[in-house]
Structure 1
Amino acid sequence: MTDSVSGERRVTIKDVAARAGVSTAAVSIALHDRPGVSASTKERILAVARELGWRPNLAASSLSGRGLHTVGLVIARPARLLGLEPFYMEFISGIESVLVRRSCSLLLRLVEGGEEIEVHREWWQGGRVNGSILVDLHVDDPRIPALAELGLPAVVVGHPSLAGPFTSVWTEDAEAITEAVRYLAALGHRRVARVSGPPELGHSAIRTAAFTEVARELGLEARTVVADFSADQGSRACRTLLLTPDRPTAIVFDNDVMAVAALGVAAEFGLSVPADLSLLAWDDSQLCQLTRPTLSAMRHDVFSFGAQAAEALFGVMTNRPPAERLVHAPALVPRASTAPPRS
């Protein structure tokens, strides 16, 4: 933001128009992504808006009757994978359950690269969203300082240690993975493994650290293999583990899709679940109850998780920021896929 224009004063559409050499009407059209200006003019206006640090005036929007009406959500997933992932279907449903009561909309964008910051900047500076929910936080996530600098109202879905200045809504992942490993150890398993999500994700890192720590405490042989939450990579990771000389007798998966895929891999190897291999899923969507055998899981109320994230964001957007919200740790649901190992 340039001091010569804004100093401590909020940058206005008039400031952008003056710098870009166009009318305020043209600026309004470009910032709100409406037809009426050429592509080159729109590009110049947006570049000036970014340079000056322009952002929409939410208070003015509320007084004009538009109010708080759009929440942004950017997910870094290929569209083909998102449709197969029960977690985000339930999470988005939870968000929508709050938005519909407030006559608000969800603006969703799927990206495959490091485009999240630019999408959030485009939405915020273009007046397309009133706030955003940030998901899949990385360790030292660059979105945190970038969006804080923008002044974007946001809520982080992740541990407070990842959230910087933003309000966070989170679950106790370390406690949950510890419970899962203790349960398997109590059944008699001494060789346990975990198929994790990408290691750069904050919740993956937290679970990995806790998994390693509790296994060491209990004197277990433990190994983590990285995957990407998809069935294909879940299968690959499971095969990798089962091909080792001292294969694990129990495997914990970071989602239910990978655990379901592992049932097929076990059959390929001629292994009986749970007599030869115990499997434990995460999140406990309906998938876990439709398989044979049914999958033991760490149950996580993902619908409520999404709803609480949306409620927290409305608190932030209306200048009533809540404290961090701890959603209860996932709870163990034993089913037919876990049992004591064969002697």
Structure 2
Amino acid sequence: MKRVTITDIAKLAGVSPGAVSFALNGRPGVSEQTRRRILSIAAEHQWVPSSAARALVGSRAGVIGFAVNRSASTLGTQAFFTDLIAGMQSVLAEYRIAIHVVLVSSIEEEVGTYRHWRGAHQVDGVIVIDPRDEDPRLTALREMELPAVVIGSHTSEPGQPATILLDDSQVAHTLFDYLATLGHRSIAFVAGPAEFQHTRMRMDVLAALSGQGVSGEVISTDFSPAAAASTMRRLLSRAERPTAVVFDNEMMAIAGLRAAQEMRLSVPQDLSIASFDDSVVAGLVRPSITCITRDTFGLGADAANFLREQIDAAQVLPDRIGALPQLTVRESTAGPS
């Protein structure tokens, strides 16, 4: 079959090739009605972009990149990433933009991935998660002039990529203050890697509760359910064990719940359990898990829309405020016995 070109689509749609290019690349310059007509014709005739032609003319790749520093086994247990990517795709699919997701094992490999994508003209921009202090990824992205949006907890430094701001300090106060109000004075936090800014903000909030007579302990892990269960067994084997344990995500919390039940402790009568992430599964186990509930699907959609705008912008756009999550109280928390 003869390959359908942008010129062919332009003739069928009764518009210029330039208008077709704008519509197919998700760029402004055509009305919404015209854009949808062009996309419909392109889909009907099974049009696909030519990567060689894109590279020659310097046009859009029609792809955004998302590099995730997680192991495949750990990533598969976290609903956060499934919902986040689904939210991105819900926006990008309308504009025939794809997502290139890769797993990396280190921050150096992540930076190398960005350099490869930029040099090969494989992506138009990237979404970055889990920012750190003095993050080398942000400096590298600025030097590469690769459009990016960060999902993070701190405002962007001048010249660095824009951020969708999530108030992790307020979120941590919401959960830890709730447990303190219930009467818990010994709280353990089973966290992810300590170098993540959002993890340290949660740690700082727990430490600040010492002024209210709360003893807080933090144990960093690799996010895996196995590490969460092992940590829970060690905590509960002590003579002086915590009365409440908070986990960084819901699958860790469920693993911790199972460990407590194995040790014949009753939740929440003997021990309260909570999580900083939520999912359908967290509400189905018994007892159901008290969680911080965020619209992760909506966050992914917002990040994708923000990145689309950033790709079209000549300058770095201002930061934006993300939606504030809410506390969902379920059966796993109560006052200490």
* Displacement of 1:224: 0.8
Q: Which residue of 175, 178, 188 maps to 2:173? A: 178
Q: Which amino acid aligns with 2:121?
A: G
CA contact (8 A) 2:172 2:205 kept: yes
Unaligned 5+ runs, structure 1: 1-31, 35-55
* Displacement of 1:138: 2.1
CA contact (8 A) 1:94 1:305 kept: yes
Q: Which residue of 103, 109, 115 maps to 2:109? A: 115
Q: Deviations over 1:40-97 (max 9, x none)?
A: xxxxxxxxxxxxxxxx79xx544xxxx4611001011122221121110111001101
Q: Does 1:189 align with 2:168?
A: no
CA contact (8 A) 2:188 2:216 kept: yes
Q: Which residue of 135, 142, 160 maps to 2:136? A: 142
* Displacement of 1:212: 1.1
* Displacement of 1:229: 1.3
CA distance in 1, matches of 2:76, 2:157: 27
CA distance in 2, matches of 1:286, 1:177: 21
Counterpart of 2:320?
325
Counterpart of 1:13?
none
TM, length-normalised to structure 2 = 0.80
Taking every aligned residue pair, what percent have the same amino acid on both sides?
A: 35
CA distance in 2, matches of 1:246, 1:238: 13
Q: Which amino acid aligns with 2:311?
A: M
CA distance in 2, matches of 1:61, 1:70: 14
CA contact (8 A) 2:155 2:163 kept: no
CA distance in 2, matches of 1:171, 1:239: 32
TM, length-normalised to structure 1 = 0.78
Q: Which amino acid aligns with 1:260?
A: I
- For 2:276, what is the secondary structure of its paired residue? strand
CA contact (8 A) 1:283 1:301 kept: no
Counterpart of 2:45?
none
Relative to structure 1, is the Cα distance of residues 312 and 322 closer, same or farther in structure 2, using a 3 angstrom cutoff? same
CA distance in 2, matches of 1:218, 1:305: 34
Q: Deviations over 1:141-167 (max 9, x none)?
A: 211111111111001111234666110
Counterpart of 1:95?
88
* Displacement of 1:211: 1.8
Report the RMSD for the aligned CA atoms in angstroms. 1.9
Counterpart of 2:218?
224
Counterpart of 1:257?
251
Counterpart of 1:166?
161
Q: Does 1:304 align with 2:315?
A: no
Q: Deviations over 1:147-190 (max 9, x none)?
A: 11111100111123466611001311111111111111111111
| Number of positions where the alignment pairs a residue of Structure 1 with one of Structure 2 | 283
